[in-house]
Structure 1
Amino acid sequence: MLGDGKELAGTGVMTAGLLARQLTADLGGVRVLDLVVTDGGDGTDSDRADRANATITC
């Protein structure tokens, strides 16, 4: 999770079988929020993200 281009929180590489992780970050003053998914360093096959029930609380 990036806020104005700076990393605010992250999960590291997630693989099949891992439980979901909750991210929490202070978004005070952030103008642009990016939720970023990368290839995990092994190519783009089968890479995905699930942001079920994502919420932002002010």
Structure 2
Amino acid sequence: MFIRRAKEIVQSNDTIEVLYKNEPIWIEHVYSETETAYIRSLNNDKRMEVPILDLVENENI
């Protein structure tokens, strides 16, 4: 995923499914300067900072 799209998802009123390592996550914040995102796992509520390039938008919904 690119930074621009991650920011669009964070600002969107829609629910957009995003995956990190094939697990559904919620993007809580995007850090442009480090090209990372602070995310929360929807499976176990774990929070972490990960590279934005490792996030995948699920477009098959």
Tell me the TM-score normalised to structure 1 length.
0.27
Q: Which has the higher strand share?
A: 2
Give the TM-score normalised by the residue count of structure 2: 0.26
Q: Which has the larger radius of gyration?
A: 1
